[in-house]
Structure 1
Amino acid sequence: MTIKVSKFQEIKLRKPAPKGVAVYGEPMAGKTTFAGKSDKPLFLSFDGNAKLAGYNAVTPTNKSDVISVIEQAEEYGYKTIVMDTVEDMAQLLETEILEKYNADNLKTANGGYGAGYSEFNNNFTEIVNLLSRSELNVYYLLRARQTEDEGLVIVLKEKLFSIIGGYSDALIEINNKHEAKWKKKRYDWDDKTLPAPLNNIIDPAKAKAAKLAELGL
C-alpha cells in the first residue's frame, strides 16, 4: 500500500507525556517501587524480586519469552512494561548466545570475528525497538554505583545505554534517600500534568531558580 500524505496543516506543537523513561540508582534505592506506581505495570523481572514483592511480573528465561510478554501485555490490560533490570536482560541475551554456540565469550561465538557481538546487539535492539513501536509506556531500570568523583554512575555498558537513551524521553536518578530527580528530559513539562509517578519528581534546576528568587537574586 502506498503511504498517503495529508494536506498541510498549521503546526501546533505539543509536549507529549514521556513514553520511555530510564531510571537509575543503586540496589535497594527504590527503582522497582518507583516504577510500580506507573499505570498498570507489568514487570519483566529477571531476578524475580518484583513478583515476590507482589507486583504483576513474569521472569523470562530467553529472548523469545521477552518478546512474547511484550506482544501480549496490551491484550491483558497492561499499560506499562518495566524492564527490571536492563543489565539482567543483557546478561540473559548474552548467556543465551553463549549456550547456543557452546562458546565462552561473544568474541568467539557464532564462528568468531565479532559475529557473537553482532547477534547480541541485534537481539538487544530488536527488543527495544519492539517496545518503542508498541502503545505501552516503558520504564528501563538501570543499576548504578556510587563513586567519589562522579557520584552515581550507570553500570550498563555505554553502547547499550546509548540505545536505551535514544528511545527514552527522560532520565531519572533515584538516590539512597529514595528521592527521584530529573537528570534529563525531552520537554520542560509541567509536572502536575504528568501521570504518576512522574508528577512528583525533584527538578534541581527549578529548585535552584526558586531558591535564588526567594533570596532576591
Structure 2
Amino acid sequence: MHILLADDHAMVRDGLVPFLERVGPDVTVIEAASLDEALTRGVGCSDLALAILDLYMPGMDRLAGLDRFKAAFPSVPVLILSGSTKPDDAFAAIEAGAAGYIPKTMRGETIIGVLRLVLSGEKYVPPFLFEHRDMVRGTAEQAEPSLPPGSPIALLTPRERDILNQIVDGAPNKVIARALDLQEVTVKAHLRNMFRKLGVANRTEAARIALMAGISGNKASSGRPV
C-alpha cells in the first residue's frame, strides 16, 4: 500500500514520513514537492491508497489543485495538509471533496488515527470546525465540540471521556494510568465499560468513533472523579 505525501517543505515531509509508515505494516510513502510531481508519481503507482496534499504548495492554486488530482485519481481519498487553521480553508477543502483536513500542528499520533479512519472509508473533520460552529451559535463556552445527535460518546462518564482522549493519542494502559493518576486495573475496568457503551470490541474501533465525532485527544484532566 502506498501513501502519497506532497509538500514543498522537505522538513515537513521528513517529520511526517515516520508516522505515515506506522499506519500499516505494508505502507510505503511516496514523496513529492509539488502538485505536478504528485500527479506524475501517482501515475506510476498501481496501489495508491491515500494522498496527502499541502494546500499551498506549488501547483495547488488553492483547491483547484485538489480538483485536478481527484480528476486524475477519482478513487483515491485525499487529505488536505495545511499550516492554516482558518475555518474557511477547512470548510472549503471538505466541501471540495477532500476526505479531511489536517493542520500541521496536529500531533503525530493523532495523524496516524486520522489516516486509519480515512483509509476505512470515513471522513475526518478537524475539531476546530466544531468549535467555530459553536462560536457562531453563541455557545463558545463549550469546552468540547458538540457531539452528533445520538452519538454513543454522550453515554460516557467524564472519566471515560478522558480515557477515550488518551486512546485517540495512542496511549497504552500504563501511560493512561500515569496520566490520570489511576491504577492500571481501574483503566481496564473503564475500558470494558466504554467499549460496551460504544458498541465496539477494541481500542481501534473506539478511536475511530472518537475521531468521527471530532475528538482529537490530548484533553485529559487528572482532576476528574474516577
TM tier relative to shorter chain: 0.3 to 0.5
Computing the radius of gyration over CA atoms, which structure comes out larger, 1 or 2?
1
Task: Return the TM-score normalized by structure 1.
Answer: 0.33
Please report the TM-score for the alignment, with normalisation by the length of structure 2. 0.32
